[in-house]
Structure 1
């Protein structure tokens, strides 16, 4: 991934951050929505016909655990409410949506994801794995996209721009919160909030280093048989300041983190959306 490509990714994320608070209404365009049902956060991204960000919304939620939907009604309700919020902002109906799942879980959960998106009122056009969705924004030729979510870490190995291997293991932000809760003697909910505050990251990075090194070991195990140029971190748990440095030191492969990695995968999902409904 070149410096220019990373800048392009960061520019797209920056545009999306801007339209969350100030949507861009255009009555003459088709809208494409990405629905990212994360363990800690549900994100909806809306792009126009040229795949430029026009609106977005997100809500922290506890309806998914370890990449699996555990509160179906809660998930449908939140997605529908976010959809209605964005429709009001854009003064239109959002018809088409794509979504994503952790790598290797398609047989287990793609049906549930499909049902949530459709029950919320969308026509579903695509379901893809999360790291592959992220690469719709990153455009990596040879490397590993590592999506560190709330419950799992998903890894996609790319060669010549094509995904040649995917994997998913159960370590992520939930484990960060459990460690923080234990270290600070606070509840899990309080630990979640404390972890999200960037002002606390400098002290937390020391506390969380063993968990980050475990994630690095997972990555190292999955990439050992492949010749890759770099590791690219996405997902909400990658927002932790300094996480990329610890992973790079552990694996000794250049490790990169785009601006606000929480939004890279949702944007990639939306970029995969079309007006062709899934069968």
Structure 2
């Protein structure tokens, strides 16, 4: 997994340092409309990170677009900034959905991306996108997002099951807000404060155990020997240890877990 870790580190630097790499080939674009963040990832045809951008947003809730115009406007601004930085027009894009959402919501997500000026050429479910980055052939990929916990189970490189339940990062924030008697916005800030990570993790541990319980339920009819966790809500140190102890299956978390799925979406832009 060393190659995958390097790709994630490279992409994270591009996003956080607001820069891009030189390129001489066709570009692959991924648009991740998350509950907490919208991420655009840009790769070259060999899946090397070229540029990226992330923006906090509340336009999507549990895989459902709740602010259609707002989502389009945010995405348009991000697209324009990346095009200006790269001096190239971004045309085709892939996007992703939580597994198990209804067809109408899938179309709505696609319409947002197309409304921002992209042509959607592929739609993939989020945990499957993550498995592309991690190069997983067997096991379960769990994507812990802002609003949901999704799973894809793979056997010999094929997805044999997907599932999704509404427990994610926002539920951590609700618990934090209740504990400290503060607003959701303040709770979000506390949750992301690295200096308070160990303190906060003990507060949200019951939510993490709830997520593990959801995953354990998904796995009850399948033989799985490894679980891979990704997603921004899984960023806490020790997150994977709670999963492994609760479920009893080896659980692995890579670096830069927030960016695994966005990169995987772009890799499926073909």
Q: TM-score, normalised by structure 1?
A: 0.94
> Which of 219, 223, 227 is equivalent to 2:219?
223
Deviation string for 1:212-246 (max 9, x for gaps)?
A: 11111100010011111211111111112211111
Would the aligned equivalents of 2:12 and 2:256 in 1 still touch at CA under 8 Å? no
Deviation string for 1:103-135 (max 9, x for gaps)?
A: 011513110111111110111110010001111
> Which of 164, 189, 205 is equivalent to 1:193?
189
Map of 2:74 onto structure 1: 78
| Structure 2 gaps, min length 5 | none
Runs of 4 or more consecutive aligned structure 1 residues displaced over 4 Å after TM superposition: none
Cα separation, 2, equivalents of 1:16 and 1:156: 24
Q: 3-state DSSP class of the match of 2:94?
A: strand
Map of 2:178 onto structure 1: 182
Q: 3-state DSSP class of the match of 1:213?
A: helix
Deviation string for 1:154-184 (max 9, x for gaps)?
A: 0111111111000000101010000000001
> Which of 133, 139, 156 is equivalent to 2:152?
156
Deviation string for 1:65-106 (max 9, x for gaps)?
A: 111110011111111111111111101111110000000115
Map of 1:239 onto structure 2: 235
Moved more, 192-201 or 36-45: 192-201
Equivalent residues in 2 for 1:102-117, closer than 5 Å: 102-117=98-113
> Which of 8, 19, 24 is equivalent to 2:21?
24
Moved more, 192-201 or 257-266: 192-201
Equivalent residues in 2 for 1:7-156, closer than 5 Å: 7-20=2-15, 21=17, 22-26=19-23, 28-156=24-152
Would the aligned equivalents of 2:126 and 2:261 in 1 still touch at CA under 8 Å? yes
1:255 aligns with 2:251: yes
Q: 3-state DSSP class of the match of 2:29?
A: strand
Map of 1:165 onto structure 2: 161
Cα separation, 2, equivalents of 1:186 and 1:117: 34
Cα separation, 2, equivalents of 1:140 and 1:108: 30
Q: 3-state DSSP class of the match of 2:182?
A: coil
Residues 1:52 and 1:106: Cα distance change in structure 2 (over 3 Å)? farther
Alignment length, in residue pairs?
268
Cα separation, 1, equivalents of 2:252 and 2:125: 20
Map of 1:273 onto structure 2: 269
How well do the aligned residues superpose, as a CA RMSD in angstroms?
A: 1.0
Would the aligned equivalents of 2:140 and 2:152 in 1 still touch at CA under 8 Å? yes
Q: TM-score, normalised by structure 2?
A: 0.97
| Structure 1 gaps, min length 5 | 1-5, 275-279
